Amino acid sequence: MSSGILIVDKPAGWTSHDVVGKVRRLAGTRRVGHAGTLDPMATGVLVVLVGRATRAAEYAEAQRKGYRAHIRFGLTTDTLDIEGSTLSATVISPSLGEVLAVLPRFMGKIEQIPPMYSAIKVNGRKLYEIARGGGEVERKPRQVDITRLGCSGPLDNGDFVLDVECSKGTYIRSLCADIGAALGCGACMSALRRTYSGDFRADDALTLEEIERRGAENCLLPADTLFGNRPALTLGSPAEERAVRNGTDVVVPGAAADGEFRVYSKNGEFLMLGAVENGVLRTIKSFFEV
């Protein structure tokens, strides 16, 4: 099985791990992972890494992500979404103007308290396992970065729509609940779709049915797609390629400048993500087959 990246349009009701399990069967390999967990109720872009591309997980997770969320005002739940048990309910709902007025509070670098219904571990136990047993533990705030936050609506059912761009680790459920708290009426998330992750867009994502029909091998994007914002550097000789494959630093006087590069062999094989400093190339992460 070749290595590469699958851009999956995750269906509602599936966990991210469910998707990985399905891709393992379709691709015929155990070496499959994903970048950036989506809640079961969420749909949209899930970056799935196959084979040697799993080595790029940290880079895929670091990409900025976009979401379209539905927010329901006047309802709070224990899970911070509509699938949880109701904690409070009111018919009070803000106007669009009132919502827009509080959104600037949630822009930029802010702190979030992770929800109890999340996969974060405390003392070796996942928070959602503790929550399902009726427990609750103190959670430390985490800093996240929200670079775009807009709102439209209301929809026919009264929900509003949030458009969000944010850093990894942002809980959109928590964002909805916090906006509701700021407005004094409470809120929860009623729907969620990841619209993009880095350069990977929902319009380019494939359903699991499409991947099965076409064959996983035919749907893979090359691993170097993740590093399209780095310049390419092609090695000039077999000796340089041997050194790179052995993990040895290489003098590359032809490199235009210091920085990170996508490094290729003379025949075009993507070998690694590398860094050049003072004309010397070192390995950051290799992707060639051993």
- Residue pair 8/211 in contact (Cβ under 8 Å)? The answer is yes
Query: Looking at residue 115, what is its pLDDT?
Result: 73
Q: Which CATH class is domain 230-286?
A: mainly beta
Query: Looking at residue 256, what is its pLDDT?
Result: 63
- For the chain, where do the domains classified as CATH 2.30.130.10 start and end? 230-286
pTM of this structure = 0.89
pLDDT in tens, 99-108: 999 999 999 9
Which residue in the block uniquely carries the two structure tokens 């290489």? 250
- Residue pair 75/88 in contact (Cβ under 8 Å)? The answer is yes
Task: Classify the phi-psi angles of 89: left when phi > 0, otherwise alpha if psi is within -120 to 50, otherwise beta.
Answer: beta
Mean pLDDT of the chain: 91
Query: Would the pLDDT of 124 be above 70?
Result: no
Start-to-end CA span in the chain (Å): 14
Query: Would the pLDDT of 71 be above 80?
Result: yes
Dist CA 183 CA 179 (whole Å): 6
Query: Looking at residue 61, what is its pLDDT?
Result: 86
- For the chain, where do the domains classified as CATH 3.30.2350.10 start and end? 4-63+199-225, 65-197
Give 149-155 contacts, CB < 8 A, sequence gap 24+: 149/103, 149/106, 149/107, 150/103, 151/71, 151/96, 151/99, 151/100, 151/103, 152/96, 153/96, 154/93, 154/96, 155/70
Query: Looking at residue 252, what is its pLDDT?
Result: 81
The pLDDT > 70 percentage for the chain reads 90
Q: ∠200-201-207 over CA atoms, to 5°?
A: 100
Cα 257 to Cα 189, 213, 230, 240, 270: the distances in Å are: 47, 45, 12, 18, 20
Dist CA 81 CA 129 (whole Å): 17
Dist CA 190 CA 201 (whole Å): 22
Please state which architecture CATH assigns to domain 4-63+199-225.
2-Layer Sandwich (3.30)
Query: Would the pLDDT of 272 be above 90?
Result: yes
Q: Does domain 65-197 have CATH number 3.30.2350.10?
A: yes
Active site residues: 39
Residues in the chain: 290
Residue 122 banded pLDDT, cuts 50, 70, 90: low
